[in-house]
Amino acid sequence: MINLGKINNFDLTHIFDCGQCFRFKKLDDGSYIGVAYGKVLHLYINNGEVFINSDDKIWKHFLDLDRDYSAILKEFMVDDFTIKAGEFGTGIRILRQEPFEALASFIISQCNNIPRIKSIINTLCNNFGNEIQDNGEIFYTFPTAEKIASLTSEDLSILRAGYRTDYLINAAKMVCSGEINFKLLDEMTLTDARVYIMKVHGIGAKVADCFLLFGMGKLDAFPIDTWMKKAKAFYDGDMSSYGKYAGIYQQYIFYYAKEHNLGK
DNA sequence: TGCCAGGCCGAAA
DNA sequence: TTTCGGCATGGC
């Protein structure tokens, strides 16, 4: 394992179990392991120092290591609610997930619970992803859009994903045909990107914002209104001036609100 | 058994 | 423009 040293605002549980990704699991020794970018990532923290199984530069990108989250938190925690949310979610980093994986995952997530989302995605990968090995153990990559586009809803019936299956196949086909172009999305403003992606059948405001935040790195996605309005029923925070990193702030709020059963 | 889950679609009001 | 039933399925 490679020692990355101390990384400020870096908590494995809050990163991998806050609901932004679905393919990482906690091992008995407290480390986390999963697959992203077609590779196995295994990491743990010991005495505040982060250890990682590979020095591939993709992990610096994936883990968003160049961003100063402590500065963001400092700016974020300004009132009772944001302080509680920020303290609760300390250590979250917004993962830079692969666009198609994020898109597919959040299509599957709709009107679903997290254990079942993980189960469906696990079945999807085990059956249609590519096999890779790490220390003699077998893992599976997330299937490509091309692979999913080649399948029928009957092929995917083993997922037991219900009506989401056709949404998934349709989105995969649109990615393959170029009707959805991630590079094009990359250049767009947040507003344009929302309009663009929501033209896809089965992608509404929620899935769109999750995809844009976790899959496209559009940190202004997932804006204030959804959870803050609900949270305001319990707290008096005002997030209106925090546009720049709204997405990150929103993940703190979302995580906190969900864990505390707020906004029902 | 019944409620609900990190929703969305399409029709009706 | 907002509201609402239906949708597949299984975790709890």
Question: From the CA of A44, how many Å to the C1' of C2?
Answer: 49
CB A205 within 8 A of CB A80: no
Rounded distance in angstroms from the CA atom of residue A101 to the C1' atom of nucleotide C10: 23
Q: Which nucleotide is nearest to A115 (CA to C1')?
A: C11
pLDDT at A4 over 90: yes
Residue A230 has pLDDT above 80, yes or no: no
Residue A240: pLDDT band (50, 70, 90) is low
Judged on CB neighbours under 10 Å (0-12, 13-18, 19+), A61 is middle
A230 token code pair: 């609900």
Which of strand B's nucleotides are less than 7 A from any protein C-beta?
4-10
What was the pLDDT predicted at A239? Answer: 64
Whether the CB of A112 is less than 7 Å away from nucleic strand B comes out as yes
Contacts of A49 (CB under 8 A, 6+ apart): A3, A4, A5, A6
- Residue A33 parent element (H or E): strand A32-36
Of A77-91, A103-117, A123-137, A190-204, minimum mean pLDDT range = A77-91
pLDDT band, very low/low/confident/very high, at A158 (cuts 50, 70, 90)? very high
Q: Are A201 and A167 in contact (CB under 8 A)?
A: yes
pLDDT in tens, A105-128: 999 999 999 999 999 999 999 999
Q: Can you read off the two tokens belonging to residue A184? A: 């094009």
| A22 CB contact with strand B at below 7 Å | no
A66-80 mean pLDDT = 90
Active site residue A57: no
Tokens of A177: 């045909």
Ordered DSSP codes for A8-21: SS--HHHHHSSSS-
Overall pTM surpassing 0.85 (yes/no):
yes
- Evaluate if the CB of A168 falls below 7 Å from strand B: no
E strands present in A123-209? 131-134, 137-140
Instruction: Point out the residue nearest to C6 (C-alpha to C1').
Output: A163
CA dist A128 and A11 (Å) reads: 31
DSSP character for A77? -
Q: Provide mean pLDDT across the span A143-152.
A: 98
Tell me the CA end-to-end span of chain A in Å, nearest whole number: 43
